[in-house]
Structure 1
Amino acid sequence: MTKISTRARVAAALCAAATLTLAACGTSTTDKNANQALTSLGPSEGQVSILAWPGYVEDGSNDPKVNWVSDFEKQSGCKVEAKTFGTSDEAVTLMRSGQYDVVSASGDASLRLIEGGAVDPINTSLIPNYADIYPFLKDKAWNTVDGKNYGVPHGWGANLLMYRTDVVKPAPTSWSPVFDGASQYKGKVTAYDSPIYIADAAVYLMAHKPELGIKNPYALDDKQFQAAVDLLKQQRQNVGEYWSDVVKEVQAFGNGSSVVGTTWQVGANTAEANKTPVGTVLPSEGATGWSDTWMVSSKSKNKNCAYKWLDYIVSPKANAQVAEYFGESPANPKACAEMTDKQHCTTYHSGDAAYASKIWYWTTPIAKCLDGRTDVKCKDYSQWTNAWTEIKG
């Protein structure tokens, strides 16, 4: 069973409006093209400083049985110093300091790092294991800009709908029970506590109000954005609790204070292991989700070791260890054969391109519309943050 506490970190990416700079939300004037990818690897510098979500860089200190860092240090000659962060906003702030060589960035942070010039493009030919990564994770808006790759895809997963099977009947196939039909579960609806959750409302509106013309839930003009905000204000009347800690969310489903809302697969697994009567579904409208990317600091003085880490962490054995411990799908299909739990890749839909195609992976909203429109401006992350504060009241 995966260590559920490690997955509780992922997306509480709360950009405080009072402290957000334009650069933090992807509108920096920094010339990112000045950052260059390595053309060849040299000798190891002997060290690498890694900034990561909890559960991604384990050296046995948290659990003696969980250690993939020691093998990397032996193989590479690079001693690892690791620091964990709790939110994407924190990761962006720390990475911009230039003190770290490598970061594991979720899609709601990666564009901010790229646009702010904090990370370098990546020469994937210097990362042998990159070739094996699932094609549907490569060359995406959150890790590739102007045809340049800015990192190596890592783990991924969907934000699912979970429901109490003894309360929510019939079994839902849509997000309707948390939006238009939420009033029948008033006070027992739960939703993810982050501005990025506005995209979940946009996904729902894409299917149910096509006249809005939403093509990408992270690219919302004034009218589209207002529709999503209005839907969430309507939902707010029925929400009992917003969650950012999946452990607490699972407990809420266990005691019945929550009966329907978003979750991660690891939360569903734990709820089922606790004998809570729950079901999960990736609804017909699709869902948001995450795909994390390993990126190299533009200020790194240890880029050879950084590249060695990027290659190692998506190698079959290491990628399997992280995916199982963390609770997600691996990026490398060869990791599936290395899993202790031989059903892990089935449970997490690894390699299921049709399933993955239904997921709108977290991507930082920026003023330049990500759907390609040039005749309007889209709402950037600072505006999403302001709206989220207003939605919650």
Structure 2
Amino acid sequence: MNKKLIAPVALAAAVGLALSGCAGGDGGETAEAGGLQIDVPDVPMMEKLGDNENEVNILAWSGFVEPAWTDQFTADTGCEVNRKIFATSDEAVQLMRTGEYDLVSASGDASLRLIVDGNVQPLNTDLIPNFGDDIVEGMKGQLYDTLNGNVYGIPIGRGANILEYNSEVVTEEPTSWDVVWEADSPYAGKIAAYDSPIYIADAAIYLMATQPELGIENPYALDEEQLAAATDLMKQQNKMVSEYWSPATNVTSFTGGNSVVGTSWEVLRKATQDEKFKSVLPEEGSTGWSDAWMLAADAKHPNCGYAWMDYTSSPEVNGQIAMNFGMAPANGAFCDTSDEAKAHCDYYNATDEEYYKKVWFWTTPIDQCLDGRKDVQCTNYQDWTAAWATVKG
């Protein structure tokens, strides 16, 4: 599951429903990925910086923009930071389309939707000195935020969706996701699962390993038969699930004893603050997520936007954001700044590219098969949402 091998199809997957039938639109460049033609609006890139404006309006995940570093940024640049928190990628996309925000911390399931709709602009990395050699290779030049040779996203951090377990109950370290998917799991009734249609990709990853005859090559490229198989597996799991969690409920599900094993995030496992809770990346691999700063095409404060992207790409500030949110930092130099930083990077596998080769970053399925197949039509996110409704009942 080498990300370098799947990158061409991952490009289209991350775009989402906005790309269905978008080929052949008016203007812009056209890129081919996995046999798909994707029309890209010709949004100009800034050639040079001007004077900083007096403010910058930022859309961000909770924990990405905090006074601990915004105060210093304002003192250094004169740019007052106005922050709005969003809860989902869909909300972020909708808000960016209002034209009221300069920057967004976009995940891979939002970034290309913004690119292909002309909501964000390509970035001149020469104007962002901290976007240099210290940014980990696995987060530079990825096709979910780099298109036609243009960079649209400045990496912030990444993470894997891991298998968490209570070692007092699950006494042997699991090596497979079978403990959450198989009907004979000894932990039935105590299994935590992520509450989203995109969780179908987790089922697809398990089927890739256990039912190769289905022919699944990309967990975000499922034809009707493959989606039906993943849905059946999830219905089987549904009978064993103790709780479908959100970030707000995951920790209490485990600490309260409602769940003893299930999918989780590294930061949520850490938040349990009890050594009996452990985690592992199973042999089948996992899903995951990656975030980047993106600048609005019609940003009213682009110079402050560039200043923010450079400031937050420095080892110290990028590391603060990563530690505050709970993720692997994008700037690998942070890992050498202190013993605490090294421990954080080790915990989140920050510079371990072999680890992240096992991770399929969240993308949004579309009608075109993202594994390159042209003889069938694949299912899209609306199909997944309908299937998810039948799973949860």
Query: How far 1:74 moved relative to its partner?
Result: 2.3
Structure 1 residues 36 and 386: CA distance shift in structure 2, 3 A: farther
- Contact 1:130–1:311 (Cα < 8 Å) also in 2: yes
Q: Say whether 1:327 aligns with 2:320.
A: no
CA deviation profile, 1:244-286 (whole Å, cap 9, x unmatched): 125x322222232101101111122222x235x2221100001
Q: Which residue of the partner structure matches residue 50 of structure 2?
A: 42
- Contact 1:286–1:358 (Cα < 8 Å) also in 2: yes
Q: Say whether 1:289 aligns with 2:297.
A: no
Q: TM-score, normalised by structure 1?
A: 0.86
Q: In structure 2, what residue type is equivalent to 1:114?
A: I
Q: Which residue of the partner structure matches residue 371 of structure 1?
A: 371
- Contact 2:222–2:369 (Cα < 8 Å) also in 1: yes
Secondary structure at the aligned position of 2:328 is classed as coil
- Contact 1:141–1:363 (Cα < 8 Å) also in 2: no
Q: TM-score, normalised by structure 2?
A: 0.86
Q: In structure 1, what residue type is equivalent to 2:194?
A: Y
Q: In structure 1, what residue type is equivalent to 2:230?
A: A
- Contact 2:163–2:280 (Cα < 8 Å) also in 1: yes
Task: Give the stretch that moved more between structures: 177-186 or 209-218.
Answer: 177-186
- Contact 2:17–2:364 (Cα < 8 Å) also in 1: no
Q: Say whether 1:26 aligns with 2:47.
A: no
Q: Distance in 2 between matches of 1:196 and 1:38?
A: 35
Match of 2:210 among 208, 211, 214: 208
Query: How far 1:124 moved relative to its partner?
Result: 2.1
Q: Which residue of the partner structure matches residue 389 of structure 2?
A: 389
- Contact 1:162–1:260 (Cα < 8 Å) also in 2: yes
Q: Which residue of the partner structure matches residue 137 of structure 2?
A: 135
Q: Distance in 2 between matches of 1:117 and 1:98?
A: 11
Structure 1 residues 25 and 191: CA distance shift in structure 2, 3 A: farther
Query: How far 1:161 moved relative to its partner?
Result: 0.3
Q: Which residue of the partner structure matches residue 308 of structure 2?
A: 309
- Contact 1:152–1:295 (Cα < 8 Å) also in 2: yes
Residue segments in structure 1 that go unaligned for 5+ positions in a row? 1-21, 60-66
Q: Which residue of the partner structure matches residue 72 of structure 1?
A: 73
Query: How far 1:344 moved relative to its partner?
Result: 0.7
Structure 1 residues 266 and 221: CA distance shift in structure 2, 3 A: same
- Contact 2:16–2:364 (Cα < 8 Å) also in 1: no
Structure 1 residues 288 and 99: CA distance shift in structure 2, 3 A: same
Structure 1 residues 387 and 186: CA distance shift in structure 2, 3 A: same
Query: How far 1:331 moved relative to its partner?
Result: 0.3
Task: Give the stretch that moved more between structures: 121-130 or 82-91.
Answer: 121-130
Q: Distance in 1 between matches of 2:304 and 2:100?
A: 15
Q: In structure 2, what residue type is equivalent to 1:224?
A: Q
Q: Distance in 2 between matches of 1:50 and 1:379?
A: 34
Q: Distance in 1 between matches of 2:278 and 2:83?
A: 37
Structure 1 residues 182 and 127: CA distance shift in structure 2, 3 A: farther
Structure 1 residues 122 and 377: CA distance shift in structure 2, 3 A: farther
- Contact 1:182–1:235 (Cα < 8 Å) also in 2: no
Match of 2:224 among 217, 222, 225: 222
Q: Distance in 2 between matches of 1:363 and 1:33?
A: 21
- Contact 2:318–2:334 (Cα < 8 Å) also in 1: yes
> In percent, how many aligned pairs have the same letter?
51
Query: How far 1:208 moved relative to its partner?
Result: 1.3
Q: Which residue of the partner structure matches residue 54 of structure 1?
A: 62
Query: How far 1:71 moved relative to its partner?
Result: 1.6
Q: Which residue of the partner structure matches residue 126 of structure 2?
A: 125
Q: Say whether 1:280 aligns with 2:279.
A: yes
Q: Which residue of the partner structure matches residue 189 of structure 1?
A: 191
Task: Give the stretch that moved more between structures: 135-144 or 179-188.
Answer: 179-188
Size of the aligned set, in residue pairs, is 362
Task: Give the stretch that moved more between structures: 134-143 or 317-326.
Answer: 134-143
Structure 1 residues 213 and 316: CA distance shift in structure 2, 3 A: same
- Contact 2:119–2:297 (Cα < 8 Å) also in 1: yes
Secondary structure at the aligned position of 1:323 is classed as helix
Query: How far 1:287 moved relative to its partner?
Result: 0.8
Q: In structure 1, what residue type is equivalent to 2:100?
A: Q
Q: Distance in 1 between matches of 2:310 and 2:102?
A: 14
Q: Distance in 2 between matches of 1:116 and 1:384?
A: 23
CA deviation profile, 1:163-219 (whole Å, cap 9, x unmatched): 122222432100001112564322211101111111111111111122222222122
